[in-house]
Amino acid sequence: MRYAMAIDTKKCVGCSDCVVACQTENNVPIGYCRDWVIEATTGTYPDLSLEFRSERCNHCSNAPCVRCCPTEASHVVNGGIVLVDHNECIGCKACIESCPYDARFVHPEGYVDKCTFCIHRVEKGENPACVNVCPTKCMYFGDTDDSNSEISKILKKRKWKTLIPEAGTDPNIYYLI
Amino acid sequence: MIEELIVSGRMNPEIDPHLHAWPWYVPTDLFLAALVAGILIFSAFLTLHGKENEFPAAVKRAPLFAPFLLGIALLLLFLDLSHKLYFWQLYTNIRWESPMSWGSWTYLFITPLSVLWAAIHIQDVFPNLDLKFSWLKESIEWLKTYKKVLAGIIILLAITLGMYTGILLSAFNARPLWNSAILGPLFLTSGLTTATAVVLLLKPNEKEERRFIVLMLIFAGIQIFLLIHMIMGYLAGTQVHIEAARLLLGGEYTTSFWVFAFGFGLVLPVVLQLLKLNGSKIPVTVPAVLIIVGGLLLRLIIVEAGQASRWLY
């Protein structure tokens, strides 16, 4: 099983509903975010293109944060979801330094925090909160090892990209382009 | 040319607008650890070669500082942890893929060994010191019989410690300025250079002073070579490495790096030592202090600039 997320950049309008849903669902402290929206303008005037991307931890298959963690607090669970065990994290911040997506932060209680793909919902067969609330339904979540899953089908049908694949992290957030 | 402008809604503390998760504690720790590694390598190496009495400042006096400097380094590491009460988790795991893990295990072994090494030499430095307890005197005498074995173990651990200070950073592919295999040897060499400066500050005899000035010149020369080689490597690398090098070549850290860390901290003391070897009356403390401050500045700049370097997307 390999959980992944696909985000349709043609449908995303950058409303940040996913950000608010995550903060509410996971009780993320004020001033912090586990997911965020970026607005990328590419090209040279007047030939410009605009892309909204909802970004978060990429739950990399080759996760540098897991490799560099000295205490195994950062670990991978079934389905490839990368988690941080709060009771094993010493707050050395090596994982923060190792993440090319800057997806981690120090929670005010001291441990390192990040997106969990809402594992508490996924274990019950539900989608992550961000996927559920998206008003344009631009986000797809599922198992890419299952060729019949919605995400597998859309990844076969559409063109996609991942962020900084050249960093060798093998990320699992796909952006449909 | 295609340009990309990214506006992000993220504003996580210590992450945005640019990464600053490791403040001055970490580079200062790296500096002290490499300095101690250098001090212990010289002391243990000269002991193995039976030169204790020819080089008293390096073999006997300098190692007395090692446990204190390591203590400060460990305290700084502890202060940097944001989940402090869980620090013991470091020692319930051995993670070979994590430089932080084997660095913490190296600290665990080398710190008590540095105390034992200092204990062996304390009465040579302070002959009138009364150790009060006979068991303590006997234990030190017993330790002295294993001095060469201890020296061998200390050299291995000290090289690991010195290299670790660079490898900790170079293992992070996410920070292009750190992602150079040269950082390990560079920081070890810098540790040896700063250690020669400490020895020169501890009133060495004439022969020892001359030898350590030559050693300082050799290690500072290697350091200059490694630094230039590292920057050439970035410039011959990928776009992200070229962008990282630009932080030091015209970017935000250019003056602090080239004027202070490289110029005043490395080139000027080399010039002063060369003049001194040729008969100029230059107090040995001047180049020695410059080298020590330069070593600290090098870590502060590399850690800070490394956190400002990133992948482009």
Cα angle B78, A73, A17 (rounded to 5 degrees) comes to 105
Sequence spans of domains, chain B: 25-308
Structural domain count, chain A: 1
**pLDDT reading at B312 higher than 90:** no
pLDDT in tens, chain A (177 residues): 999 999 999 999 999 999 999 999 999 999 999 999 999 999 988 899 999 999 999 999 999 999 999 999 999 999 999 999 999 999 999 999 999 999 999 999 999 999 999 999 999 999 999 999 999 999 999 999 999 999 999 999 999 999 999 999 999 999 999
**pLDDT reading at B2 higher than 70:** no
**pLDDT reading at B156 higher than 80:** yes
Q: Is A166 on the interface with B (CB under 8 A)?
A: yes
Q: In this prediction, does ipTM exceed 0.95?
A: no
Task: Note whether B21 contacts A97, CB cutoff 8 Å.
Answer: yes
Q: Is B79 on the interface with A (CB under 8 A)?
A: no
CATH value at residue A46? 3.30.70.20
| pLDDT at residue B124, as a whole number | 92
pLDDT band at B129 (very low <50, low <70, confident <90, very high): confident
C-alpha to C-alpha distance for B55 and B205, rounded to whole angstroms: 8
Give the residue with greater pLDDT, B24 vs B134: B24
- Which whole number is the average pLDDT over B34-61? 97
Contact residues, chain B, for A64 at CB < 8 Å: 172-174
- Each residue's pLDDT tens digit, B59-105: 999 999 999 999 999 999 999 999 999 999 999 999 999 999 999 99
Report the chain A residue with the minimal C-alpha distance to residue B167.
A68
Task: Note whether B14 contacts A105, CB cutoff 8 Å.
Answer: yes
Q: Is A123 on the interface with B (CB under 8 A)?
A: no
Contact A118, A129 (CB under 8 A): yes
Contact B90, A71 (CB under 8 A): yes
B25-308: CATH topology: Formate dehydrogenase/DMSO reductase fold (1.20.1630)
Closest CA to A32 of B10, B52, B293, B271: B10
* Lookup: tokens for B74: 């460990």
Contact B51, B205 (CB under 8 A): no
The Cα diameter of chain B in Å comes to: 78
C-alpha to C-alpha distance for B223 and B192, rounded to whole angstroms: 10
Residue recorded with tokens 């030169």: B51
Compare CB distances from B7 to A39, A97, A109 and report the shortest one's residue.
A39
Task: Note whether B100 contacts A167, CB cutoff 8 Å.
Answer: no
Compare CB distances from B10 to A36, A68, A89 and report the shortest one's residue.
A36
**Selected residue of A20, A32, A37, A71 to mutate for chain B interface (largest B Cβ count, 10 A):** A71
d(CA A72, nearest CA chain B) in Å: 7
Contact B212, B196 (CB under 8 A): yes
Closest CA to B99 of B30, B18, B2: B30
Which residue range(s) make up the domain with A110? 3-176
| pLDDT at residue B167, as a whole number | 96
Task: Note whether B13 contacts A32, CB cutoff 8 Å.
Answer: yes
Compare CB distances from B97 to A67, A91, A92 and report the shortest one's residue.
A67
Task: Note whether A64 contacts B173, CB cutoff 8 Å.
Answer: yes
Task: Note whether A88 contacts B11, CB cutoff 8 Å.
Answer: no
Compare CB distances from B82 to A110, A163, A167 and report the shortest one's residue.
A110
Q: Is A49 on the interface with B (CB under 8 A)?
A: no
Closest CA to B58 of B212, B207, B216, B199: B199
Report the chain A residue with the minimal C-alpha distance to residue B239.
A166
Environment class of residue A46 by beta-carbon count within 10 Å: exposed (0-12), middle (13-18) or buried (19+)? exposed
Question: In the beta sheet, which residues pair with residue A3?
Answer: A143
| pLDDT at residue B21, as a whole number | 96
Contact residues, chain B, for A96 at CB < 8 Å: 14-15, 19, 21
